[in-house]
Amino acid sequence: MQQFRIRRFSINRNWTFSIIYFFAWAAYATFPLDYVFFSQHIGLNNIEIGILYSTLGLLGIVAQPIFGYISDYFKSTRKVMMGSLTFGVLFSILLSLVKDRTMVRVVAMGYTIFMSSFMPLLDNWVASSCIGEQKGNYGYIRLWGSVGYAILAYLYGKLTMSIDVSNIYFSRGVLLAIVFVLIYTYKFEIAVESEEKKEEKKERPNLKALLSNKEYVFFVIFAFVFFFPMNAASSFFPNLLLEVGGTNATLGFAGSVNAIVEIPFFLFTQRLGRRMGHKGLMFIGCVFVCMRMFGFVYAQTIPGLMLAYFCLAPYTTFFAPGMIYYIHSIAPPNTQVVAQTIVQAFAIGAAGMIGNYLAGYIIDSYGIRVMYRYGTIICVAGVVFFFLSSWLIKKFRQKKINVDIQKGI
């Protein structure tokens, strides 16, 4: 009887996670239209947009580790996510209402402070559950996020041709409210296994142990370098697409199809992870990201850009899960969440802040293709740095083990 209850819980849990991802990524389908909103609706130029993105990145740098630390300290990622979602709903609705350029910036900053850490927290929450006692298939769960993104990206692309682009932010608020309800009700499911679970003592995350871990520190550096051009590539892709004759509908179509392309890849993520390891998954993702950047440099037609854009799908399905599990494997036990959010703070926050600012300047001064050309070089350099540093750390550890063995003899 007890075995049946655990099995039933596992099924409910996996489906709950899948539905949460569906609506969470459906809400995130609005982000490719941020550039359209800031440029066409608010009237910001590329440099101003770059400065705004950089400011949001700076806020993310500060906010993400704080939310991760709070989550590790109180051992309640779920409650932290609910708090983030509450403000995410509020600021999303405000974005659909305010018209003043200054107020739009302020509201966007408020949204970033509370929501920049949400997806890293959600990924860690789900991934940790999948590698616990009741294992689940993270790739299968996560693919429902791609389904939600695909549907809403297509609809948003169509709708923005006939309605004010600011209206999509109200729908983002509604979708985030649904995610809040799903996460809130999840507590009743976990009560099934809480009978035998002892209350864990609050303990401060050991940041000193985390930051003295060379493998983790090198990965943070890699994340910054690698995501430096990636953030700019995503932020200004609408600009590139419009340059070759695309429209908002084309942008929505691209996001929708890319999400659909991700789905079959997610089905093989767990199997490939077992065979190739976390680093193997990340390497595959890195190769496709470099191919994507290279395509953005030379593609002169919409089909060519679409082909390059779809290289994002293997990155999402292989690199992102590989990164989550890799960080989970090298971080000290009581720093799992803050370790994820620190990486995100540097990868999305710091890299986004500097990368978007410089990208805006380069685009206005030299053209968008030059920006993507430099971005390709930096991406390749980042990949070389990560795998070379990993190899050197592994070799150093083996050498130290051999010395210790000899001393023991």
pLDDT per residue as tens digits for the range 252-273: 778 778 888 888 888 877 788 7
- pLDDT score at 273: 77
C-alpha 367/C-alpha 360 separation (Å) is 10
The stretch 333-343 carries a mean pLDDT of: 85
Confidence of residue 152 (pLDDT cuts 50, 70, 90): confident
- pLDDT score at 161: 67
- pLDDT score at 192: 37
The stretch 160-172 carries a mean pLDDT of: 78
Q: Which residue has the higher pLDDT, 391 or 134?
A: 391
- Range in 31-35, 165-169, 197-201, 231-235 with the lowest mean pLDDT: 197-201
- Residue 400 to residues 390, 393, 404, 406: CA-CA distances in angstroms? 15, 11, 6, 10
C-alpha 198/C-alpha 19 separation (Å) is 29
C-alpha 296/C-alpha 308 separation (Å) is 6
Confidence of residue 198 (pLDDT cuts 50, 70, 90): very low
Does 179 score more than 90 pLDDT? yes
- Range in 53-62, 85-94, 144-153, 188-197 with the lowest mean pLDDT: 188-197
C-alpha 223/C-alpha 181 separation (Å) is 33
Does 53 score more than 60 pLDDT? yes
Does 90 score more than 50 pLDDT? yes
- pLDDT score at 134: 52
Residue 302 buriedness (CB in 10 A; 0-12 / 13-18 / 19+): middle
For 213-257, write each residue's pLDDT tens digit.
888 998 898 888 888 888 888 888 888 888 888 877 787 778 778
C-alpha 222/C-alpha 387 separation (Å) is 9
Average pLDDT, the chain: 81
C-alpha 305/C-alpha 317 separation (Å) is 20
- pLDDT score at 401: 64
Does 158 score more than 70 pLDDT? yes
% of the chain surpassing 70 pLDDT = 87
Q: Which residue has the higher pLDDT, 90 or 231?
A: 90
pTM, two decimal places = 0.74
What are the tokens at 27? 């809400």
Confidence of residue 155 (pLDDT cuts 50, 70, 90): confident
Complete domains list, the chain, with CATH: 2-193+204-408 (1.20.1250.20)
The stretch 135-162 carries a mean pLDDT of: 80
C-alpha 169/C-alpha 115 separation (Å) is 14
Confidence of residue 196 (pLDDT cuts 50, 70, 90): very low
User: Within 10 A of 185 (CB to CB), how many other CB atoms are there?
Assistant: 10
- Range in 104-118, 156-170, 226-240, 325-339 with the lowest mean pLDDT: 156-170
- Greatest mean pLDDT among 5-9, 195-199, 311-315 lies in 311-315
Q: Which residue has the higher pLDDT, 11 or 75?
A: 75
Does 5 score more than 50 pLDDT? no
- Are 239 and 35 in contact by the 8 Å Cβ rule? The answer is yes
- Residue 342 to residues 117, 174, 203, 361, 393: CA-CA distances in angstroms? 10, 29, 19, 27, 21
- pLDDT score at 2: 38
